[in-house]
Structure 1
Amino acid sequence: MLSLLPKQLDRNIDLSEARSTGIAMSAPSAPGGAVQAAIARAALATGIDFQYLMAQASLESNFDPAARAATSSAAGLFQFTKGTWLGTLGRHAADHGMAWVQQVVSGGGLADPGLRARIMDLRYDAQASALMAAELANDNRAELTARLGREPDATELYLAHFLGAAGAGEFLSALAADPLRSASSILPAAAAANPLIFYQGGAPRSLGGVMDLMRSKMAGAMERAASSDHAYRSRSGEDPIGPVAHEFRAAARSSPQVVAAPPRHSMAETLRGLYDAGGAGGPAHVRKAYARLAELGL
């Protein structure tokens, strides 16, 4: 089903960190049109902030749908591990036209090696990865809200994708209790898989140090994503955000407010206008996607 050939790429880190460890990493790059379209479509379908999803994809894979982590099973645009991918598909695949996937995952069909490989390879499909990342963000938001007693901010929500909702909850609870405690002592498996986050110069970072690093990374990624967000709205006339987006932005301004939802066009109309202003151009697979969205009433 997929022809993408995965290539090795560790999680995004600052270039200064890369130099100090001898790991060659590319600078943050701009997303290609197909990747941006996939993320925009996922934002529209789920209500998750387009800007947040862009920032997450930048941090996770540098917008590379074929990325693979060197230290874990994480793969694809949003770096899903195998277990998280299967769990998210099992809850949400049918909501996005992939009922057969959900049936296989939920019905024990993963014992078939061919089917399992095909479903795992969907992580390298930018559209499938973006949709499941957005749905997972909604799931994580609900779980963190219940645990924290408030809405998570963008960095806390990203932590839930990075560490899992349970891991993020454990991390944030420990952070509130003792920010000077070693982060690797709380989440040793995560620390082993992500040493550049949990250690600096061989020394373990504190919980507060890890959180400061993650906030810095997210702030930079959100700032870079803002230009894509502005370009999206300028070209399409559509603001691809929902309730979660408004909460993020209200929190960033430190003055919560209610923002009326903008008028909605169908996803097919919006994305056609954004990426195919002439109405006839674009790759065949993109035109096919527009047609499929229209058939589904989207």
Structure 2
Amino acid sequence: MQTAIAQASERTGVDFGYLLAQAKVESSLNPTAKAPTSSATGLFQFIESTWLDVMRRHGPSLGLGQVASAIQPGSRGPVVSDPVQRGQILALRNDPQVASLMAGALAQDNRDALVPVLGREPDAGELYLAHFLGSGGASRFLTALKRSPDAPAPALFGKAAAANRPIFYSPGGAPRSLSGVMDVLRTKIERAMPAGDAAPMFSQAGAFLPAGVFAPASIASAPATSGTPVTRPQMQRYPTSLGAAAAAIPAPTMPQLPKISTLLRDNFALGSEPASSSAGDHARRAYARLKAFGL
């Protein structure tokens, strides 16, 4: 898991420590985790609509253009006309490499949305709030928090509160205030971050960061309340797309999603990666299983 997250950090410019902490909080690093109260699935617990939207917008720049081409904008959110293709695209939430890339892309989107609201870079808690509520919800939350920190959060975010009672209500059932919810989310993400990495760090999206070297934190934040030091794995170098073969394929006139096994073979360059690569081994195993089922 750490290798997939590290590669996504390098590809998207989002801090490895933050992405790792988010995966810990969301799924306990379980790539097939499913939420009981929503459609959230996978390492980063993407709900269906968010996954399709992020894939549609960022898939082309991350080597998944053929997948993205099957997703079209709709009046009620992104749509995939073929139900089989839709199921295959949503199933990619369970792939650690693809999910980590989409999580990094979404974190950059959320950062861009929050900077104008805050007038500064978001801290880890604020960035996680945007993943939790969406950038629009987080912007409304932070605006209300500044105005009325003691206001009951469930009254303003009823749908989110119903799906996430432990966040919006105390163990005794009392509704938490906006500041109380913010404290809960900030504590969760900071405790999961490697020691000393309480502030998420960003570089230019898509730029390569040298292995083990991250952009300096742009803001000061409270130190992490706890956390076990994590050894940052060595990052493998990738070109600006997941595979030159995928980039060379022209977009079809009518979007047609290739088999997932084909995507894994082509986009992750199976057969050319060193045998010792854990990411490559994972992709090969997934490729073999999907091919066996005809996917």
Normalization by structure 2: what TM-score?
Answer: 0.69
- The alpha-carbon distance between structure 1 residues 205 and 119, as it changes in their structure 2 partners (threshold 3 A), is same
The CA distance in 1 between the partners of 2:283 and 2:95, in whole Å, is 15
Answering whether residue 74 of structure 2 is matched by residue 77 of structure 1, we say no
Q: Which residue of 2 aligns with 1:94?
A: 60
User: Which is richer in helix?
Assistant: 1
Deviates more, 1:143-152 or 1:88-97: 143-152
Root mean square deviation of aligned Cα: 2.8
**Counterpart-to-counterpart distance in 1, 2:88 and 2:179:** 40
- The corresponding residue for 1:251 is 220
Change (3 A) 1:268 1:91: closer
Q: Is the 8 A contact 1:55 1:225 kept in 2?
A: no
Q: 2:221 aligns to what SS in structure 1?
A: helix
Aligned equivalent of 1:241, options 202, 208, 214: 214
1:286 and 2:281 are equivalent in the alignment: yes
CA contact (8 A) 2:42 2:99 kept: yes
Q: Taking structure 1 as reference, are residues 72 and 94 closer, same or farther at Cα in structure 2, changes over 3 Å only?
A: same
Mean Cα displacement is larger for which, 145-154 or 117-126? 145-154
Alignment of 1:39-50 (within 5 A): 39-50=5-16
Q: Is the 8 A contact 2:125 2:187 kept in 1?
A: no
The alpha carbon displacement at 1:281 in A equals 2.8
Aligned to 2:105: 135
Question: Any gaps of 5 or more consecutive residues in structure 1?
Answer: 1-34, 227-236, 255-263, 270-278, 290-298
Distance 2:18 2:28 in 1: 14
> Residues 178-193 of structure 1: matches in 2 within 5 Å?
178-193=148-163
Aligned residues: 224
Distance in 2 (CA, whole Å) between partners of 1:171 and 1:107 is 26
- Decide whether aligned partners of structure 1 residues 217 and 170 sit closer, same or farther in structure 2, where only a CA change above 3 A counts: same
* Secondary structure, aligned partner of 2:193: helix
Taking structure 1 as reference, are residues 267 and 240 closer, same or farther at Cα in structure 2, changes over 3 Å only?
farther
Gaps of 5+ in 2: 198-209, 224-233, 240-273, 285-295
1:202 aligned residue (156, 173, 181)? 173
Deviations 1:156-189 (A, max 9, x none): 0010001100111111111111111101111111
How has the CA–CA distance of structure 1 residues 149 and 58 changed in structure 2, closer, same or farther, with 3 Å as cutoff? same
Q: Give CA deviations for 1:186-208 in whole Å, capped at 9, x if unaligned.
A: 11111011001001121111111
Report Cα offsets for 1:80-127 as digits up to 9, x if no partner: 011110110011001111111111013887111100000000000101
CA gap 1:282/1:138 in 2 versus in 1, 3 angstroms: closer
Correspondence 1:152-171 to 2 at 5 A: 152-171=122-141
Query: In the aligned structure 2, how far is the partner of 1:36 from the partner of 1:186?
Result: 36
Amino acid at match of 1:207: L
Question: What's the CA shift string for 1:216-267, capped at 9, x where partnerless?
Answer: 11221114696xxxxxxxxxx822534xxx335x42389xxxxxxxxx9862
1:130 Cα deviation (Å)?
A: 0.4
Give the Cα separation in 2 of the matches to 1:240 and 1:122. 29
Q: Is the 8 A contact 1:82 1:120 kept in 2?
A: yes
Q: 1:185/1:48 Cα in 2 relative to 1: closer, same or farther (>3 Å)?
A: same
Partner amino acid, structure 1, of 2:220: A
The residue identity in structure 2 corresponding to 1:251 is: A
| Cα distance between partner residues in 1 of 2:280 and 2:235 | 22
Quote the residue 2:202 is aligned against: none
- Contact 1:43–1:241 under 8 Å retained in 2: no
User: Once superposed, which parts of structure 1, at least 4 consecutive aligned residues long, lie more than 4 Å away?
Assistant: none
What's the % identity of the aligned pairs? Answer: 46
The 1:266/1:186 distance shift into structure 2, 3 A limit, reads same
Q: Partner amino acid for 1:53?
A: L
